[in-house]
């Protein structure tokens, strides 16, 4: 048992098999805190891969959707690896650190991403890969008070641009601090050596106590993720193309070639989108995945759903464009649970609203 695991248990955590806290005994308090103050999450199960060498940026740039080659030092972006048919393989956050390009994967995908990258480092590429998840821990702070917590710990970091990153000294070690896309309020990321993880987690809680910071687990994160419309899990799969799941802002339409570019560029230039991701209101909880119907015809799939501690049911679905209009009535599964489209999710192409009106 690691010092970080013991630390979580002392705080009352219920742990998942991967030793990431599911909750700390009061889901309602965790969920409420992120709206009024802030929560601290252990996200160490997200993969961390460091690419070094002259070609590290070009390697990722030629394989993924965003303009990674243009990243200045201490800047970052999210990008998506797709197959030849433009279907999603991996979504990662890239941070261009002085020591190399740090790739942060979705939870549980670090090993698969590393193997995928190794297969695509060709003879002559000046790039080396090291999985660093076992050497480090990763924490995230979410909520409207997150900015105040960071400012108390590192005043110079408070004005960091979105997707920017810096290095700082705290708890007797060097930390990487990055500002990520928000789910609820601000979203800050801390990466530290695994040996100091418990000390860093304790420090963050102490520094954030005046701002109402409390520890929270993955169950709260999942509810927030679905409520905010952030794709993950089933949405980030080979069933979908990035433009269909609200990732338009993670695609560059001006960079050079990458795997799957032709299909994505054609969809964009012709304004062709057959389906898109939406938030749903459900009359009762239905587990994802489940088929969605309109007038007896299959029109999409429920991809995420959760009964949140606030008593609400939050859900995401990918549906045909002619069913993506706010207020559209749908049904889910064999029991025909009632569902209503609430609004779009994620970052949509700017022409989607007009396309839906035309349907």
311 and 338 both lie in a single domain: yes
| 346 in the same domain as 197 | no
Q: Does the model's pTM come out above 0.75?
A: yes
User: Does residue 241 fall inside a structural domain?
Assistant: no
Tell me if 250 is assigned to some domain.
no
What is the rounded end-to-end Cα distance, in angstroms, of the chain? 57
Q: What is the pLDDT of residue 359?
A: 61
Q: How does the average pLDDT of the chain come out, rounded?
A: 94
Residue 340 pLDDT > 90, yes or no? yes
Predicted pLDDT of residue 331: 96
339 part of a folded domain: yes
Indicate whether 266 belongs to any domain.
Answer: no
Q: For residue 355, is pLDDT > 80?
A: no
Beta strands per DSSP E along the chain: 14-15, 21-23, 38-42, 46-52, 76-82, 88-97, 100-107, 128-131, 136-143, 165-170, 173-179, 186-193, 213-215, 275-282, 290-294, 297-307, 313-320, 329-332, 337-344
Check whether residue 20 and residue 32 sit in a common domain. yes
- Give Dmax (Cα) for the chain: 62
- Cβ count within 10 A of residue 342: 16
Domain count, the chain: 3
**pLDDT above 80 (res 192):** yes
Do both 116 and 142 map to the same domain?
A: no
Q: What is the DSSP string of 186-242?
A: EEEEEEEEGGGHHHHHHHHHHHHGGGTEEE--HHHHHHHHHHHT---GGGSSTT--G
36 and 141 belong to one structural domain: yes
Please check whether residues 143 and 282 belong to one and the same domain: no
* Distance from chain centroid for Cα 208: 23
The boundaries of the domain holding residue 176 are 3-44+137-153+170-226
Shared-domain flag, residues 342 and 353? yes
Residue 171, pLDDT above cutoff 80? no
Structure confidence by residue, pLDDT tens digits, 58-103:
999 999 999 999 999 999 999 999 999 999 999 999 999 999 999 9
Asked if 196 contacts 131 with a C-beta cutoff of 8 angstroms, the reply is no
By residue count, the chain amounts to: 359
Q: Are residues 31 and 146 in the same domain?
A: yes
CA 89 to CA 81: how far, in whole Å? 5
CA distance 130 to 122: 16
Residue 232 in domain: no
CATH at residue 208: 3.30.1360.120
């Amino acid at each position: 048992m690691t010092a970080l695991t013991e630390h979580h248990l002392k705080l009352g955590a219920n742990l998942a098999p991967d030793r990431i806290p599911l909750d700390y005994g009061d889901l309602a308090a965790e969920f409420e805190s992120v709206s009024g103050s802030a929560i601290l999450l252990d996200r160490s199960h997200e993969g961390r891969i460091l690419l070094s060498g002259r070609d590290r940026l070009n390697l990722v740039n030629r394989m993924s959707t965003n303009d990674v080659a243009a990243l200045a030092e201490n800047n970052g972006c999210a990008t998506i690896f797709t197959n030849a048919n433009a279907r999603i393989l991996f979504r990662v956050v890239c941070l261009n650190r002085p020591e190399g390009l740090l790739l942060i994967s979705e939870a549980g995908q670090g090993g698969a991403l590393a193997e995928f990258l190794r297969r695509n480092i060709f003879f002559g590429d000046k790039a080396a890969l090291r999985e660093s998840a076992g050497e480090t821990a990763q924490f995230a702070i979410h909520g409207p008070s997150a900015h105040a917590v960071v400012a108390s710990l590192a005043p110079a970091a408070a004005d960091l641009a979105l997707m920017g990153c810096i290095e700082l000294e705290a708890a007797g070690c060097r930390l990487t601090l990055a500002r990520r896309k928000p789910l609820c309020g601000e979203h800050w990321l801390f990466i530290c050596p695994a040996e100091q993880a418990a000390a860093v987690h304790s420090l963050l809680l102490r520094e954030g106590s005046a701002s109402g910071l409390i520890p929270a687990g993955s169950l709260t994160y999942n509810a927030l993720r679905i409520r905010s419309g952030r794709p993950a899990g089933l949405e980030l799969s080979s069933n979908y193309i990035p433009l269909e799941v609200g990732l338009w802002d993670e695609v560059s339409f001006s960079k050079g070639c990458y795997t799957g570019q032709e299909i994505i560029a054609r969809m964009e230039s012709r304004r062709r989108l057959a389906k898109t991701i939406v938030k749903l209101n459900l009359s009762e909880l239905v587990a994802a995945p489940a088929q969605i119907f309109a007038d007896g015809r299959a029109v999409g799939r429920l991809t995420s759903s959760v009964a949140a501690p606030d008593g609400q049911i939050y859900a995401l679905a990918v549906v045909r464009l002619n069913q993506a209009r706010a207020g559209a009535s749908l049904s889910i599964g064999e029991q025909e649970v009632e569902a209503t489209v609430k609004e779009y999710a994620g970052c949509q192409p700017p022409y989607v609203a007009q396309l839906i009106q035309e349907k």
